């Protein structure tokens, strides 16, 4: 029997400054098209802004969710039973795990504009991935949700 744990969901949205940059890309396109008249200027402003906004939005679209007995991070889905200890990474330690401490086999859901992260050990012997590195604004809550899901979905002695 599966028990329900408190679900967790976070979208790794791009920072607000990226939307200003999207507008400035549109202004740049408008300036490039300035010699061609008013309509091309407006087209450059609208088209450039829209294209840059689509890129910013898609880069900030990954979600991290703990649902039922699974952790879903971007396109990856892993059962919480295959996960071990979690480590909250403050900005300095997170940078170290993104650079010189990183293992090339690790799964990274990394967004440079999010300074904190959670590192979760993968305990499944069949999985070559040593750990998950997840950029998150709320690493403590994510770790708690993974632990709650693991406990809620652990087999009881009667089920073993």
Tokens of 111: 């967004």
Residue 158 pLDDT class (50, 70, 90 cuts): low
Number of residues in the chain: 160
pTM value is: 0.83
- Taking phi over 0 as left and psi of -120 to 50 as alpha, with beta for the rest, 63 belongs to beta
What pLDDT shows up at residue 152?
85
- Taking phi over 0 as left and psi of -120 to 50 as alpha, with beta for the rest, 20 belongs to alpha
Tens of pLDDT, residue by residue over 17-57, are 999 999 999 999 999 999 999 999 999 999 999 999 999 99
Sheet containing strand 83-89, edge to edge, reads: 83-89, 117-122, 131-135, 107-109
Directed axis angle between helix 16-32 and helix 38-59, to 10°?
150
Residue 154 pLDDT class (50, 70, 90 cuts): confident
**How many whole angstroms separate alpha carbon 133 and alpha carbon 57?**
22
Burial 48-73 (b: 16+ CB within 10 A, else e): bbeebbeebeeebebebbbbbbbbbb
Residue 157 pLDDT class (50, 70, 90 cuts): low
* Residue 148: CA count within 13 A, CB half-sphere: 14
Residue 145 main-chain phi, psi, to 5 deg: -65, -40
Residue 1 pLDDT class (50, 70, 90 cuts): very low
For residues 87-108, average pLDDT: 96
Higher-confidence position of 17 and 157: 17
Counting residues of the chain whose pLDDT is more than 90, the rounded percentage is 86
Domain boundaries along the sequence of the chain: 12-59, 64-152
Q: How many helices (H) and strands (E) does the chain have?
A: 4, 8
């Amino acid at each position: 029997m599966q028990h329900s744990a408190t679900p967790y969901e976070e979208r790794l949205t791009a920072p607000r400054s990226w939307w200003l940059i999207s507008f400035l890309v549109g202004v740049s396109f408008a300036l490039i098209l300035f010699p061609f008249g008013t309509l091309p200027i407006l087209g450059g402003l609208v088209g450039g802004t829209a294209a840059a906004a689509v890129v910013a939005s898609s880069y900030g679209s990954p979600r991290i969710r703990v649902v039922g007995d699974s952790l879903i991070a971007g396109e990856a889905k892993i059962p919480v039973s295959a996960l071990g200890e979690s480590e909250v990474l403050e900005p300095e330690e997170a940078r170290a795990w993104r650079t010189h401490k990183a293992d090339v086999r690790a799964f990274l859901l990394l967004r440079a504009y999010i300074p904190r992260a959670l590192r979760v050990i993968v305990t499944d012997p069949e999985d070559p991935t040593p750990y998950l590195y997840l950029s998150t604004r709320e690493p403590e809550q994510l770790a708690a949700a993974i632990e709650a899901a693991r406990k809620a979905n652990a087999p009881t002695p009667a089920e073993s």
